[in-house]
Structure 1
């Protein structure tokens, strides 16, 4: 969940944008070169062919710099090369052959984005769904045999476990597995010894951001895995993300997503709690939301979704049902470390109310006006 519109710097005077800590970092990228970040980048233009603006006068990534999201503590973050132009046919022969398992909204976006970037991509999904322009495999075994890299984008723990077990029945020599699904990390960790014994590598690499950010190449990805596996994974993930963080060993990618996206859910819960107060006091919903979004309590995520919150846009970036499913995963991740997350548990109540109201497949932004109406 989350993201920023093309014009939020201009229309809302976003303080975070002025300080250079927006998710859609403006950058210059070279083929197989370093990912550079610019202090003097132009405004992001969602309509541009590259789905972004690439700045002159870029500087190398510096974890100590204030422009790097104030990330001055902890291990260094590595930004991968990011391809902004399609490779030639000769270059294409040197690229990893990608197999995407799971072609739901996220998996389809990943497959299509990598295909558009020039990667040879094949997809497989249990339902038989296909993606225009992306080759379809007849089975997981056929997909594995024809791929160097396997990207999993699946619904839940059961699906991921089943697919990993199916992959383990195949020849995995020299292959890598990139697990992007939002599931508990123990599923992959419990199988990593078997995966490596077959000559393969694996990382968990959950995504923060919906399909629209994947399509634009501006989603966030948190990689958990050893250095060698993470480095190889980054070279592929750079095809659909310019915000890739190697955060630690296997499993920590999902923990980082739990922390990051739980904060978003808790923010939504706060808005849901306050909207009944606005209604009972006679404040119009639009007045309350525009003041919150435009002031210090606003966030880029809220600004991005404001048209959906106000009913001006009925497109779905991330559904309430998906957010509710993720909430359960986040709570289980916390409990696996002996912790409770009461604020995350509270956030689940707003999603449950939306499901009962029959709007589970609508964007999560619709939970906020629902809370106002039910107030």
Structure 2
């Protein structure tokens, strides 16, 4: 592989687009695939080459990098008709940044290895802003030689690049990350709702809370945004994080590990997504406690397995499954 390998990129969405931009800026020849070419117009205008299928992307590249939305997209792009796996050969390296079940990554790695190629699961955290600035954190799973081959490319948009273990380990750690994000967002939303009812000054309260043990990145993000209703889709949506929570549940169930706090937080995400608020920013989870909209959103059935939480939310919001990082 040359010092500047030909890079194929698929999944140039909210997170992937700035990653791909930084690869171009680093001088790589970049090939891109998108079912809707308009979505990568900014990349092709900047010098990237558009190819028609994932298979062609793989055939014409040395390294294929994906930042796909979810497990369904991963299965389709890698294993579907004209998919990546069927076109890889010895020496190819596949790096996938999407968040999905670790078992899927292990299956893809096995199929890639059968064709002499390497696979690295490399989920990232930090959100779109840090993707633009090249300051993401990457947690990677894969063989050491494959990880080291990927590292120079990852450095274009990651400040920290950590080899967690074998294939699937990066995704396992990302799911732990998403468990914590889910719980922290739910806690911040509940705190925001309580502050709202008490009439506390938001900026002053935030300054106090962020100065002590209550501080968290999600509290910093959600206050005062949680108290400013917005229907605009963002890079971190309620529906996007809700979708990833399925994988957290799958892993914990497989380990026969009964989680206690996570299911209560997840219930709020699920109810708001079902109510049509999946496209709202995660800060808007506080709207679960908004009495103004109580007549428009039905309560989910109460069960004895998880604490009941109010499920009041705006009934109309754009749908989205963009991942919260």
TM-score calculated relative to the size of structure 1: 0.68
Encode CA deviations 1:334-370: one digit per residue, 9 max, x unaligned: 22323233322222222234335543223211213x1
Residue 318 (structure 1) aligns with: 236
Contact 1:151 1:178 in 2 (8 A): yes
Encode CA deviations 1:177-224: one digit per residue, 9 max, x unaligned: 001111001112123222112111001111112122111111111001
Summarize the alignment of residues 148-227 of structure 1 with structure 2, pairs less than 5 Å apart. Answer: 148-165=62-79, 166-227=83-144
Residue 21 (structure 2) aligns with: 112
Q: Match for 2:251 among 333, 342, 363?
A: 333
Encode CA deviations 1:284-317: one digit per residue, 9 max, x unaligned: 5555545423433112343245453353997824
* Structure 2 portions without partners, runs of 5+: 292-309, 311-325
Alignment: residue pair count: 282
Bigger helix share: 2
Matches of 1:226 and 1:115, distance apart in 2: 26
Contact 1:96 1:236 in 2 (8 A): no
Matched residue SS, 1:242: strand
Q: Match for 2:36 among 127, 131, 136?
A: 127
* Structure 1 portions without partners, runs of 5+: 1-92
Matches of 2:22 and 2:223, distance apart in 1: 26
Matched residue SS, 2:16: helix
Summarize the alignment of residues 1-375 of structure 1 with structure 2, pairs less than 5 Å apart. Answer: 94-128=3-37, 129-132=39-42, 133=46, 134-165=48-79, 166-283=83-200, 288-306=205-223, 308-311=225-228, 316-356=234-274, 358-368=276-286, 370-374=287-291
Q: CA deviation at 1:232?
A: 0.9
Q: CA deviation at 1:333?
A: 2.1
Matches of 1:315 and 1:154, distance apart in 2: 18
Segment drifting more, 312-321 vs 94-103: 312-321
User: Structure 1's 246 and 131: CA in aligned 2 closer, same or farther, altered over 3 A?
Assistant: farther
Matches of 2:110 and 2:242, distance apart in 1: 32
Contact 2:119 2:146 in 1 (8 A): yes
Encode CA deviations 1:17-76: one digit per residue, 9 max, x unaligned: xxxxxxxxxxxxxxxxxxxxxxxxxxxxxxxxxxxxxxxxxxxxxxxxxxxxxxxxxxxx
* Cα RMSD for the two superposed structures: 2.5
TM-score calculated relative to the size of structure 2: 0.78
